[in-house]
């Protein structure tokens, strides 16, 4: 971690710049994050036909931030704090831990990594 990065605190939202898109995670402490990833090789589609992959499945994982970000830039981005008060940190972490290993629906617009971690931090739907 470079000196110019804000060190995350448990419950913080982490935005990771991966090429032309952002990936989101929730900082759990001790260098770990929870995030949602698609693994199409391992996780089958939710749709009836493999040709219509409008909604896919994704897995909730707890991994080291350094492994998730790799060489990509990341920063703490609690941008929704001005719209909604975050839940207490203990509750955020407890809610997040309950999801580890779960398979969840995934789609780019509705059920995506940013939406997932926002719900953990704020307890409900938050939108721009």
Q: What's the structural domain count of the chain?
A: 1
CATH of residue 22's domain is 3.90.1720.10
In a domain, 4, yes or no: no
Q: Which residue has the higher pLDDT, 77 or 4?
A: 77
Q: How far apart are CA 76 and CA 11, in angstroms?
A: 10
pLDDT of residue 105: 85
In a domain, 38, yes or no: yes
CA angle 16, 122, 83 (to 5 degrees): 90
Where would I find the H helices in the chain? 65-69, 89-99, 113-122
In a domain, 1, yes or no: no
| Joined tokens for residue 67 | 């492994």
Q: How far apart are CA 70 and CA 1, in angstroms?
A: 11
> Which range of residues forms the domain containing residue 71?
12-42+53-122
Per-residue pLDDT tens digits for 47-101: 444 444 456 889 999 999 999 999 999 999 999 999 999 999 999 999 999 999 9
pLDDT of residue 5: 56
Q: DSSP label at 50?
A: T
In a 10 Å sphere around its CB, with 0-12 CB exposed, 13-18 middle and 19+ buried, how is residue 95 labelled? middle
Q: Assess contact for 36 and 116: CB atoms under 8 A.
A: yes
pLDDT of residue 20: 87
Residue 125 has pLDDT above 90, yes or no: no
In a domain, 47, yes or no: no
pLDDT of residue 86: 97
pTM: predicted TM-score of the whole model, two decimal places: 0.81
pLDDT of residue 27: 98
In a domain, 48, yes or no: no
In a domain, 35, yes or no: yes
In a domain, 5, yes or no: no
Residue 44 has pLDDT above 60, yes or no: no
């Amino acid at each position: 971690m470079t000196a110019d990065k804000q060190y995350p605190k448990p419950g913080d939202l982490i935005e990771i710049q991966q090429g032309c898109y952002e990936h989101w995670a929730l900082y759990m402490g001790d260098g770990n994050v929870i995030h949602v990833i698609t693994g199409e090789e391992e996780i089958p589609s939710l749709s009836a036909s493999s040709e219509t992959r409008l909604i896919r499945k994704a897995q909730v994982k707890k991994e080291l931030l350094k492994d998730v970000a790799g060489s990509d830039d990341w920063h703490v981005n609690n941008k929704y704090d001005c719209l909604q008060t975050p839940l207490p940190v203990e509750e955020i972490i407890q809610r997040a831990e309950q999801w580890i290993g779960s398979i969840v629906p995934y789609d780019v617009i509705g059920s995506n990594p940013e939406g997932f971690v926002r719900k953990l931090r704020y307890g409900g739907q938050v939108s721009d």
